[in-house]
Amino acid sequence: MKIIVGVKRVVDFNVRVRVKADGSGVETSNVKMSMNPFDEIALEEAIRLKEAGTASEVIAVSIGPEKASETLRTALAMGADRGVLIKAEGSLEPLAVAKLLAKIANDENADLIILGKQAIDDDSNQTGQMLAGLLDWPQATFASKITIGDKSAQIVREIDGGLQTIETSLPAIITVDLRLNQPRYASLPNIMKAKKKPMDVKDAADLGVDITPRLKVLNTEPPATRKPGQMVGSVEELVAKLKTEAGVL
């Protein structure tokens, strides 16, 4: 079984996001970047499947600028066998990413594609579903447990109010949720070994895929700051403020 895992380079989740002064987007210059946390979980699951003997090869794919190769090296250090970097500048919409992943999936004859349910930068939660539509493969989203059988997969997925267990044939698309696993840290020896693992670099323009944006960001602004709290001396004062200032009574 050959597994493809999508890994996206995003602003590190520990970094306080700042909006550019002109409101054109989020500031990424001189900001720490890392692998999307949901993609780390997807990669960890693929590596575990290989360690269990279920999968024969794990291929990490990243789409973005040249610096996305750093994210791929992290994926290789975690345990992926090889990486594919598709160079593309600017903001990529989920449909464009899905088209590029579909191209790679067909070229590699993949048996399974595992993705994070969403990226923490745009929270779109669309790529996996669009990819399933383009490839005409079954899909399972929000997976919290994955069991691979003979040409099939059983997935426990998180839904409103509980858990749902489904079974799908392979090849398939699976998007993962937070509670699936705990990603491993890349050890120093594996980081050194990752430098020797193969990484194929492709240009999005050479793959015959239209990645022209269909949406235009008009303005980006930070959320409104919360007003500071106030101390009141009595219940009567609290009720008065709720009536006059908050308007809730």
The 10 Å Cβ neighbour count of residue 194 is 20
* pLDDT tens digits, one per residue of 10-69: 988 888 888 888 887 888 888 888 999 999 999 999 999 999 999 999 999 999 999 999
Return the pLDDT at 248. Answer: 66
Tokens of 168: 């799908």
Return the pLDDT at 186. Answer: 87
Return the pLDDT at 249. Answer: 59
Closest to 45 in 3D by CA, of 93, 78, 90, 8: 78
The model's pTM is 0.85
Domain annotation for the chain: domains and CATH numbers = 2-224 (3.40.50.620)
Angle at 212 between CA 208 and CA 218, to 5 degrees: 170
C-alpha pair distances (Å), 225 with each of 22, 35, 228: 19, 29, 9
DSSP count for the chain of H helices, then E strands: 6, 11
Return the pLDDT at 194. Answer: 92
Return the pLDDT at 99. Answer: 95
Mean pLDDT per 10-residue interval, the chain, length 249 residues: 95 86 81 93 96 95 93 95 92 92 95 94 92 96 94 93 93 94 91 92 89 86 82 88 73
